[in-house]
Chain A
């Protein structure tokens, strides 16, 4: 009984790590652009497709495929960033919604046109189960947890100490003042977007070995899992996103075990509603209420 609970918490932490890496990119983009990136899951999908392409067509080893997946996504993100995302800065909220939804449709359908709509099989990665403290996990999942932690520590350091990170925080607080002191807002917006998209791609490539199936529509689900996480975490809040992702991962895991798998997807939005009733600005916002 106790063992089962611990095991399910561990399962939850694993899925939480995946959510966290995707969500942190989305929340950073929101912080700077003030727009929810509805195409975020598509970069997750692009990263996975890039790696799948490298393995299936060129027989490259998995670590190389990870790099290719992330770099390919970065290239696409540069294009989308220049043509779409930069223009969202300062635009009304609905422009951001429409633009990112449009980008999602274009990316998804381009991939389906190029590679077909059928499910592809991802063959790379380290899927052998290993035993850790009596729990069996695929090696890949341990890798996911480690990469998740490293990513968050790295992001914290970057946001706190680097010039780019400080500029990102500044832009998310006040665009006009940034312009006055000479911060290139469009440049910062572009880079934040590229970093966010790459994180989503990284998360996609890391989970592909355990999720096995690769297909054009796989990003949608990720976008909708991520949305409640970034709202709960307090939009734009990196640390809050990490905690919210873990809460969601563990809650989902417990619900799947003790209530039923069919109720799993309701957990995210149900938790979100509860949190918003209590703290409308998210769990970690300084403001508790308007």
Chain B
């Protein structure tokens, strides 16, 4: 017991005014999603190194302290507590998984530590933040609602579609995405004509695809897993709707193996992404190049968002001219930050107004159709 106290008072002593910015990073460092955690950590560390090499923020160096959530809410909460109580961090970035982030929110709220999420997509996180309740939670990542809205907006405005068939995975993700799509259907005077959900591992879509063929739908809204897309694509070719009714939504339509499996069906498929390595902006290209040189591996989405979010936080600290949490929070609320995909500002729910990149498969290759944003309707 005495030993424990010595250790913890030692930890307190470490929290001197040594002038560093103490930044916690909660991510799945072990467990099934460990790969995402590793990418997140590398992205964040690369950003911290860049900032420190350039002299730090207002003369302060950033030190990134990892906390392992293992991808589960229980571990995520204890990692957050450890970062706050022992490592004495002022700011936390995390987690990747939405359920972990949701569990972390009340913890940081009690401690008054600023949480800036960089990779969770569940809309609830920022429904409950800002004017919604939690004052210390921010998110710099597009939500599933953003995605559903932007895909629908693009399909309606650029393609002139008004009638849709739904074929989504029967999971929280697949069903929620359709819920959000339905919320915005009236905005685009559109309707859903058939609605089906498939179980993970389903291999026979012929019945439902023939039904869609006869329903008069102009596009199929699909939110699902990467493994179902090639099967759906091939069976679309079989029932004769490939090239006539495109797939829209998110299910890795633009990966090379999916396109190769059913080139005719994937033609015209529309997908929205937060970021992807092929995105053509000078800042994005420079990031990909530097990350690949540093780690001998191309960055994924998680590496990018954590890299960008550390830079965003650094800018807020610089504008606040202090590491005082309240001042940084105020600076973050009013920030105008130029990210690799476009300008970032926060709404009154502490949710970043972020552009998403829209992709359309053209001639067997994903073509980037630009970055779009849209305003979310919060529930009253």
**Chain A: residues with CB nearer than 8 A to chain B?**
4, 7-8, 11, 14-15, 119, 121, 123, 127, 129, 136-138, 141, 207, 210-213, 215, 217-218, 221, 252-254, 256-257, 260-262, 264-265
Contact = CB atoms under 8 A, between A and B. Distances in A.
B42 to A, nearest CB: 21
A15 to B, nearest CB: 5
Nearest to A249: B204
A210 B235 contact: yes
A11 B210 contact: yes
Contacts of B238: 127, 129, 136-138, 141, 210
Contacts of A7: 210
B227 A221 contact: no
A121 B210 contact: no
Interface of B: 167, 170, 195-199, 201-208, 210-211, 214, 226-228, 230-231, 234-235, 237-240, 257, 260-261
Tell me which of A212, A254, A260 has the highest count of chain B C-beta atoms within 10 A of its own C-beta: A212
A4 B207 CA distance: 9
A257 B170 CA distance: 16
B174 to A, nearest CB: 10
A136 B239 contact: yes
Contacts of B199: 262, 264-265
Tell me which of A213, A252, A254 has the highest count of chain B C-beta atoms within 10 A of its own C-beta: A213
Contact of B201 (A8, A218, A261, A262): A218
Nearest to B240: A136
A121 B261 contact: yes
7 contacts: A15-B204, A127-B237, A210-B238, A211-B231, A252-B207, A253-B207, A256-B208
B215 to A, nearest CB: 11
A11 B230 contact: no
Contact of B198 (A136, A215, A262): A262
Given A253-B207, A257-B207, A261-B196, A221 B234 contact: no
A7 B206 CA distance: 10
B237 A129 contact: yes
Nearest to A121: B257
Contact of B231 (A137, A141, A213): A213
A262 B196 contact: yes
Contact of A260 (B197, B203, B230, B239): B197
Nearest to A210: B234
Contacts, number: 90
A68 to B, nearest CB: 22
Given A121-B230, A129-B238, A212 B261 contact: yes
A215 B203 CA distance: 13
Contacts of A11: 204, 206-207, 210
Given A138-B234, A212-B231, A212-B234, A121 B204 contact: no
A251 to B, nearest CB: 11
Closest 7 A/B residue pairs (Cβ):
A261-B196, A256-B207, A262-B197, A119-B227, A211-B203, A212-B230, A257-B207
Contacts of B230: 121, 212-213
Contact of B214 (A4, A213, A252): A4
A257 B235 contact: no
A139 to B, nearest CB: 10
B207 A121 contact: no
Contacts of A261: 167, 196-198, 202, 205, 207-208
A47 B34 CA distance: 32
Given A129-B237, A256-B207, A261-B208, A213 B167 contact: no
Contacts of A14: 206
A264 B211 CA distance: 15
Nearest to B195: A260
A8 B210 contact: yes
Contacts of A264: 199, 202, 204
A128 B290 CA distance: 44
Contact of A8 (B196, B205, B207, B257): B207
A213 B199 CA distance: 15
A129 B197 contact: no
Nearest to B242: A129
Contacts of B231: 210-213
Nearest to A217: B201
Given A210-B203, A261-B167, 14 more contacts: A7-B210, A11-B210, A119-B227, A123-B261, A138-B237, A212-B234, A213-B203, A213-B228, A252-B204, A252-B207, A261-B196, A262-B197, A264-B204, A265-B199
A11 B206 CA distance: 7
Contacts of B235: 210
B193 to A, nearest CB: 14
A252 B208 CA distance: 11
A211 to B, nearest CB: 4
Tell me which of B226, B231, B239, B240 has the highest count of chain A C-beta atoms within 10 A of its own C-beta: B239
